[in-house]
Amino acid sequence: MKREVLEGSKKDNCLSGKSIITLFFENSTRTRLSFELASKYLGATAANIAASGSSVAKGETLIDTAKTIDQMAADVIIIRHSSSGAPHLISNYTNASIVNAGDGMNEHPTQALLDFMTMQEKKGGFQGLRVAIVGDVKHSRVARSNVYGLKKLGADVVLGGPATLMPADIEQLGVKAYTDIDRAIEGADVVMGLRIQLERQKKGLFPSVREYHKYFGINEERLKLAAPDAIVMHPGPVNRGVELSAAVIDGDRSVIGEQVTNGVCVRMAVLNLLAGK
């Protein structure tokens, strides 16, 4: 899949005759585009539904919306929703395969898969790999999916972030959690920053962007604590100078651009597995 994407032969037909719908209840640029391109590269018919432009705005329930799409012979419905468990809910009512493109604070499995693909390429495997995930862990579906998958693959996962943005009892998932992010980054082979929603500040979860960056931002100085060949990842979009300094984002350890490429490839693979002939 990656070869197809990189070599420019972006027209497979393994999903020709299949219809793939993206049903997005939250704003998204890259994830939606990534899925849409993945569908098209594989020859599927792709259509988008943005929640505000549909009957959802008229008060239709999620289940009814999903049933309606299903009745139009969709093969795959890709859903993003602000409520945790929304994909799980509609999967009980549809014949189409459901792909979770991010549900609330719960999971974002294809993001985790593209992260794993990137780590595999750069680090060659997961046994003994130390992955530090730093930032707003509490509200992060990316963090949760990464934790579940990385633990399964045999990596060591450490989390870092302010106490107000660390979920309750997170260590019961088999990870270490630090509020001193230097300790989280120390010796890490992979340092992953998480996006900070700036509106969290208004809710009092951290006092200011300035203080956040000072204590929890990943800069070149802090990166020296990581393994010498550590890579830096971020699910995007990045708040430059907040969770990562500009120098780190654009630095030679950053693999953020490749993550995006791998995102398309991984989603092609997922769609092919679910709907391919």
Quick check: 42 and 5 in contact, CB under 8 A?
Answer: no
Q: What is the smallest separation between the CB atom of 70 and other proteins, expressed in angstroms?
A: 16
Question: Least distance in Å: CB of 107 to other proteins?
Answer: 7
Minimum CB distance to other proteins, residue 201 (Å): 15
Cβ proximity to other proteins: between 59 and 257 the closer is 59
Residue 32 or 141: the one with the smaller Cβ distance to other proteins is 141
User: Minimum distance from CB of 179 to other proteins (Å)?
Assistant: 16
**In terms of Cα–Cα distance, which of 217, 210, 208, 227 is closest to 248?**
217
Q: What is the residue whose two structure tokens read 């630090």? A: 178
State the nearest-atom distance from the C-beta of 36 to other proteins, in Å: 24
Contacts with other proteins, residue ranges (CB under 8 A)? 61-63, 81, 83-86, 88-89, 103-107, 141, 144, 167-170, 172-173
Q: Which is nearer to other proteins, 27 or 61 (CB)?
A: 61
Pick between residue 135 and residue 217 the one whose CB is nearest to other proteins: 135
CA 270 to chain centre: 14
- List the alpha helices (DSSP H) in the chain: 2-6, 30-41, 62-71, 86-91, 109-123, 141-153, 181-185, 199-202, 209-216, 220-223, 246-250, 256-275
C-alpha to C-alpha distances, 189 to 126, 176, 211, 249, 265, nearest whole angstrom: 10, 15, 26, 17, 23
Distance (Å, whole) CA 145 – CA 60: 29
Question: In the complex with other proteins, which residue's Cβ is closer, 74 or 105?
Answer: 105
